[in-house]
Homo-oligomer: A and B are copies of this chain.
Amino acid sequence: MKQQAFLTRCLMVQGSIQVHHYGVGGVGNAFLEQLGQLSNPPKLVLLARSTQTLMSAAPTYSPCIPFTTWEDAAKSPSLAKSNALPPAEIAAFLASAPGRAIVVDNTSDLTLAQAYPIFLERGVSVVTPNKKGFSEDITLFNDIFSSAVRGNALVYHQCTVGGTLPVLSTLRDLVSTGDAIIRVEGVLSGTLSLLLGEFMPGNGTSSAQWSFLVSHAKEIGHTEPDPRDDLNGLDFARKLTIIARVIGVEVTSPDSFPVESLIPVELSTIPSSAEGIAQFMSELPKFDAHMDAAKNSAEKQGKILRYIGSIDVTTGAIEVGLRHVEKGSPIANLQGSQIVSIYTKRYGTNPLILQGGGGGGEITAMGLMADLLKAMERLK
Interface residues of A (CB under 8 A from B): 2-3, 34, 37, 152, 164-166, 169-170, 173-174, 176-179, 202-203, 327-330, 333, 335-337, 346-348, 350-357, 362-363, 366-367, 369-370, 373, 377-378
Q: Which chain B residues lie closer than 8 Å to A164 at the CB level?
A: 170, 173-174, 352
Supposing A166-B170, A178-B37, A328-B202 touch, asked if A363 and B346 sit within 8 A by C-beta, the answer is yes
> How far, in whole Å, are A34 and B377 apart by their CA atoms in the complex?
27
Q: How far is the CA of A274 from the CA of B356 in the complex (A)?
A: 45
Q: How far, in Å, is A33 (CB) from chain B's closest CB?
A: 9
A335 to B349, CA, bound (A): 10
Given B327, B346, B357, which contacts A366 in the complex, CB threshold below 8 Å? B346
Q: Tell me the bound Cα distance from A351 to B164 in angstroms.
A: 12
Distance of A362 Cα from B356 Cα, bound (Å): 27
Contacts beyond the supplied A353-B356, A355-B355: 9 A-B pairs with Cβ under 8 Å: A164-B174, A166-B169, A173-B366, A176-B369, A178-B366, A330-B333, A346-B363, A351-B356, A377-B378
Q: How far is the CA of A133 from the CA of B378 in the complex (A)?
A: 25
The one of B178, B330, B352 in contact with A165, judged by C-beta atoms closer than 8 angstroms, is B352
- Residue pair A330, B330 in contact (C-beta under 8 Å): yes
The smallest C-beta distance from A7 to any residue of chain B, in angstroms, reads: 14
Enumerate chain B residues within 8 angstroms of A348, measured Cβ to Cβ: 357
CB contact between A2 and one of B2, B176, B347 (< 8 Å): that residue: B2
A354 partner residues in chain B, CB cutoff 8 A? 353-355
Asked whether B328 lies within 8 Å of A366 as measured between CB atoms, the reply is no
List, in ascending order, chain B residues with CB within 8 A of A353's CB. 337, 353-356
Contacts of A330 in B (CB 8 A): 330, 333, 355
A-B contact pairs, 17 of them (CB 8 A): A164-B352, A166-B166, A177-B373, A178-B366, A202-B328, A336-B350, A337-B350, A346-B362, A346-B363, A346-B366, A347-B357, A348-B357, A350-B357, A353-B353, A353-B356, A354-B355, A377-B378
